[in-house]
Amino acid sequence: MLLRIVFLGTSAAVSSNKRDNTCLLVDDVLVDCPGNAFGKMVRAGYEPLRLRTIIITHRHVDHSYGLPSLLEMLRLSGKEEPLKICINEDFFFEMRQILSTYGLIREDFPLEMVPIRVDGCALFEGSLRIETFPVKHSVPNFGLKFSTSSSCVVYTSDTEPCEEVIEQAKNADVLIHEATCAETVTGRKEGHSCVEDAARIAKQAGVKNLCLVHLGPELEEHLCELTCEAEEILNGRVIVPEDLDRAIV
């Protein structure tokens, strides 16, 4: 079974005129929820009512602020099948309170809210296995490993370079790594990785396909040379997806 990925957003916390905050759609699973996720799914040709699971990796606003709006749009559009919302346990109760404040915890709208441990657990969505693993950010956060019988994709979420990503990405078909900064453009930023870091980690993990997301706006004018530098480090393929780009793995 192949994995279908849509890059609904690819920017870091500050969006640009080309990129919105990072958000992924993997089959029928939404990873993080900034902005108008509903509208972007429609633009990408995906029917939002098919959505089965939403995962919020951590409490930072650019990864979670669009969730109440998405849920209300799904409710108004007639969503009837149960929707699972998996939230980092560090942010679970606050997000539940936010949703309650907006009147979204209600009997006629079936939500299954699940706190997710940072230190690792496994979820299942049909034949899709989703594993969480801890990463190194300024708040508790986890990355995600998506596996089927024939495909494996690892997403780091926000993180500094860390051994956990290398371990989880071994034998992965694709590593989707955050790249908020670059050594040659911005210097390092606490809690985040540089483009060069992502390439080194992909090389250590033996990954031949690297996607860079969570891109800081300062990098936009330098993406061509940064991609070339990353490919030299990795000796493999480096992709910088645009918003709404798709991939099948």
In whole angstroms, give the CA distance from residue 182 to residue 215: 10
Structure confidence by residue, pLDDT tens digits, 103-127: 999 989 989 999 999 888 888 888 8
Q: What is the reported pLDDT for 240? A: 98
Structure confidence by residue, pLDDT tens digits, 174-195: 999 999 999 999 999 999 999 9
In whole angstroms, give the CA distance from residue 74 to residue 38: 8
Average pLDDT over residues 24-44: 97
109 C-beta neighbours (distance < 10 Å), count: 17
Q: What is the reported pLDDT for 123? A: 87
H-state helical runs in 130-247: 163-169, 195-205, 223-234
Q: What is the reported pLDDT for 52? A: 96
Q: What is the reported pLDDT for 60? A: 98
Q: Are 104 and 68 in contact (CB under 8 A)?
A: yes
Q: What is the reported pLDDT for 163? A: 97
Q: What is the reported pLDDT for 233? A: 97
Torsion, Cα of 34, 36, 38, 39 (10° steps): -150
Residue 94 CB partners (closer than 8 Å, separation 6+): 59
- Total structural domains in the chain? 1
Q: What is the reported pLDDT for 245? A: 98
Average pLDDT over residues 95-110: 94
- pLDDT cut 70: percent of the chain above it: 100
Which of 41-55, 117-131, 168-182, 198-212 is the least confident region? 117-131
Average pLDDT over residues 215-229: 96
Residue 79 CB partners (closer than 8 Å, separation 6+): 49, 51, 109
In whole angstroms, give the CA distance from residue 161 to residue 198: 8
In whole angstroms, give the CA distance from residue 27 to residue 145: 13
The answer, yes or no, to whether residue 155 has pLDDT greater than 90, is: yes
The sign of the CA dihedral 188, 191, 197, 200 is positive
Domain that holds residue 168: 4-248
Average pLDDT, the chain: 96
73's tokens: 């749009």
CATH number at residue 194: 3.60.15.10
pLDDT band at 30 (very low <50, low <70, confident <90, very high): very high
Q: What is the reported pLDDT for 232? A: 96
C-beta pairs of 31-34 under 8 Å, 24+ apart in sequence:
31/55, 31/57, 31/144, 31/155, 32/56, 32/57, 32/63, 32/64, 32/157, 33/63, 33/64, 33/65, 33/66, 33/67, 33/70, 34/9, 34/62, 34/63, 34/64, 34/65, 34/66
Average pLDDT over residues 24-35: 97
Beta bridge partners of 142: 134
